[in-house]
Structure 1
Amino acid sequence: MTTLGTASAAPGEMDTGRLEVGEARDGTTVALPCAVINGAFDGQTLYMQAASDGDELNGVGVVSRVVPQLDPTELTGTVLVVGIVNYHAFQVAEHRNPIDDTKMNRAYPGDDNGTSSERIAAATFDAATRADVILDLHQGSTSRMIDEVRVRCGRRHRLHDECLQLAKTFGCGYVLDQKGPEGQLARAGPDEGIPTIDPELGGCVGWDEVSIQAGVDGVFNVLREYGFLSGSASPERQTRAKGFDQYGSPAGGLVRFEADLGERVGAGDLLFEITDPFGELKARVTANNSGVFWRTRRLPQVATGEYVCSVGTNVDTY
């Protein structure tokens, strides 16, 4: 019998339940939706979670499509799922936990006696570290971004190659291989000896079916390649960036992009222009280095110095 919170499943069975993480302001229990899919055959364990940031909903879309397709009688090993991590932020469609104004993916490995976010991180980290593979489903918040997978442990980490191979297997087409900030699950997991990746499934308000499908395909690629399901993923070559150039606006006004997401750009290529409300040109910004046009703001209006876009740099394929 395998349990996660109140979900409990014997071999060849599946169950859903709730993982308790504390109490709300009215004293009612706060518990995260979770699932156990316990395969009929012994094998490894995969842990998957979504909505660590409360407005990043594409991962929830992936979970809601993947779980109904998993037949425990055909599964080797176990899949553990927490469908919504940042409970309080999800309720109000905000990025950060409004109870403690914390970005959840900076709170790992958490603290059982800490803040709201630290307690949620501790409970989900306890579940994650029962696994052999960890998938932490994200998106680029509400900005516009390509589908990519992030390897956050750092290229000198002892588990870097395993994490990079997991990212390649997921197979979104693009990988950011750059050490992440402290407190990310994709950093804390490898420190415990578990290959962990952070798929960033596009960026949107609400959810995007194309990015959700890329996430569904990625999860099944991992399930097949790592022996949970029959078949293999046959991972294709991925475009990898090892860094970012981020660009702010040199003037206030309206952004007009001259490059498309996923487009290769060279040093000196025009990325965007800034105009006034009447179309008068105020500034032109070009790329400092060659790379891939990776991410942009969603709204066209900007103030001086405000974030506009990012270019993935130091690009190769593997």
Structure 2
Amino acid sequence: MTTTLGTASARPGEIATGRLEVGETRDGSSVGLPVAVVNGASSGKTLYMQAASDGDELNGVGVIQRVVPRLDPAELSGTILIVGIVNYHAFQVAEHRNPIDDTKMNRAYPGNKNGTSSERIAAATFDAATRADLILDLHQGSTSQMLDEVRVRCGKRHRLHEQCLELAKAFGCGYVLDQKGPDGQLARTGPDEGIPTVDPELGGAVGWDEESIQKGVEGVFNVLRYYGFLEGNQPLEPQTRASGFEQYGAPAGGLVTLEKDLGDRVSPGETIFTVTTPFGEPKAEVTADSGGIFWRARRLPQVATGEYVCSVGTDIGQY
């Protein structure tokens, strides 16, 4: 059966690319998101993938750029629907939020086809996503340094929690944040529609980071093998799961020195960063409130009072 997404239309055994219209720019030109359909020669499940719903989070775009040329629909069972760049306007200016309505796209789901720019884009991509059996929403830690991880955002009491955890484990980054997310995230609204959905957060970079992109490429192919899109045995590897997240800000302005590397274990009361003057004079020392794993940190050393510095994943376990 022919599968269509926007102007991309592929018969079994074909790949097609095209555009998904979501509105117009200020000069009246049509806005079309880049989309692809990979229609397997054999029937099977449907996977939906998207990237750059936050316009400066580019590692997911790098993943899709590398995954699609490696896919042979003759060897694929099922269908893959892809939106390569969701936040069109923010991507054009390398910003996080949609500059047309100053909205963070990953707070706009399930969207509104008659709403703001972001709500219309969310509605169009949500319509595509809800045609699938599984959803991967590729993100990164914006420009912060961050572990490669997968986020399960539906909450532990959700009826699809275990299925979302299974999808995160199949992706196999090694780290999982299992914490209910804010309203409007695709990884929150997808499970409400009965579709296991996760949010791989592939590191953080200015531009993109090849190591994190490669981790994402491996994760996508892990999912394709585990769920039967591709042949091959894909075992589930143990993951380190954090159920909490503690953020730390600077108690004083100055220059930050991090005392931990990403992935390091942190003990309660252990120093995680210090703040000094430009002359190296001590101003503040910040210690961990709880034990956990050093998960995320700012890239630039200069901070103002109260500015974000780092995060520690807490309530650590294996699953």
TM-score category (smaller protein) = over 0.9
**Match in the other structure for 1:34:** 35
Unmatched segments (≥5 aa) in structure 2:
none
**Match in the other structure for 1:80:** 81
Residue pair 1:201, 1:212 contacting (<8 A) in 2 also: yes
**Match in the other structure for 2:106:** 105
Question: What CA distance in whole angstroms lies between the structure 2 residues aligned with 1:294 and 1:182?
Answer: 23
User: Could you report, residue by residue, the CA deviation over 1:211-259 in whole angstroms, capped at 9, with x for unpaired residues?
Assistant: 0000000000000000000012212110000011110111110000101
What amino acid is the match of 1:18? R
The alignment partner of 2:126 has SS state of helix
User: Could you report, residue by residue, the CA deviation over 1:116-136 in whole angstroms, capped at 9, with x for unpaired residues?
Assistant: 000000000000000000000
Question: What CA distance in whole angstroms lies between the structure 1 residues aligned with 2:233 and 2:123?
Answer: 33
**Match in the other structure for 2:263:** 262
**Match in the other structure for 1:158:** 159
**Match in the other structure for 2:295:** 294
Structure 1 ranges of 4+ moved more than 2 A:
none
The alignment partner of 2:15 has SS state of strand
**Match in the other structure for 2:168:** 167
Q: How does 1:157-196 map to 2 (within 5 A)?
A: 157-196=158-197
Question: What CA distance in whole angstroms lies between the structure 1 residues aligned with 2:169 and 2:107?
Answer: 25
**Match in the other structure for 2:25:** 24
Q: Does 1:6 align with 2:7?
A: yes
**Match in the other structure for 1:52:** 53
User: Could you report, residue by residue, the CA deviation over 1:81-101 in whole angstroms, capped at 9, with x for unpaired residues?
Assistant: 000000000000000000000
Q: How does 1:201-280 map to 2 (within 5 A)?
A: 201-280=202-281
Question: What CA distance in whole angstroms lies between the structure 2 residues aligned with 1:157 and 1:136?
Answer: 19
**Match in the other structure for 1:67:** 68
**How far is 1:298 from its partner?**
1.0
Question: What CA distance in whole angstroms lies between the structure 2 residues aligned with 1:15 and 1:49?
Answer: 16
Q: How does 1:88-103 map to 2 (within 5 A)?
A: 88-103=89-104
Per the normalisation by structure 2, the TM-score is 0.99
**Match in the other structure for 1:303:** 304
Question: What CA distance in whole angstroms lies between the structure 2 residues aligned with 1:307 and 1:231?
Answer: 43
Q: How many pairs does the alignment contain?
A: 318
**How far is 1:281 from its partner?**
0.6
What amino acid is the match of 2:227? Y
What percent identity do the matched residue pairs reach? 78
Residue pair 1:49, 1:137 contacting (<8 A) in 2 also: yes
User: Could you report, residue by residue, the CA deviation over 1:257-306 in whole angstroms, capped at 9, with x for unpaired residues?
Assistant: 10110101110111000000000011100111000000001110001111
Question: What CA distance in whole angstroms lies between the structure 1 residues aligned with 2:235 and 2:264?
Answer: 25
**Match in the other structure for 2:133:** 132
User: Could you report, residue by residue, the CA deviation over 1:156-186 in whole angstroms, capped at 9, with x for unpaired residues?
Assistant: 0000000001001100010000000000000
What amino acid is the match of 2:215? A
Unmatched segments (≥5 aa) in structure 1:
none
Per the normalisation by structure 1, the TM-score is 1.00
Residue pair 1:7, 1:18 contacting (<8 A) in 2 also: yes
The alignment partner of 2:78 has SS state of strand
Residue pair 1:149, 1:175 contacting (<8 A) in 2 also: yes
**Match in the other structure for 1:315:** 316
Question: What CA distance in whole angstroms lies between the structure 2 residues aligned with 1:188 and 1:230?
Answer: 30
The alignment partner of 2:38 has SS state of strand
Question: What CA distance in whole angstroms lies between the structure 1 residues aligned with 2:151 and 2:242?
Answer: 10
What amino acid is the match of 2:168? A
Residue pair 1:221, 1:232 contacting (<8 A) in 2 also: no
The alignment partner of 1:204 has SS state of coil
Question: What CA distance in whole angstroms lies between the structure 2 residues aligned with 1:81 and 1:68?
Answer: 13
Question: What CA distance in whole angstroms lies between the structure 1 residues aligned with 2:16 and 2:284?
Answer: 57
**How far is 1:310 from its partner?**
0.3
**Match in the other structure for 1:199:** 200
The alignment partner of 2:102 has SS state of coil
Question: What CA distance in whole angstroms lies between the structure 2 residues aligned with 1:54 and 1:236?
Answer: 31
What amino acid is the match of 1:108? Y
Question: What CA distance in whole angstroms lies between the structure 2 residues aligned with 1:221 and 1:312?
Answer: 25
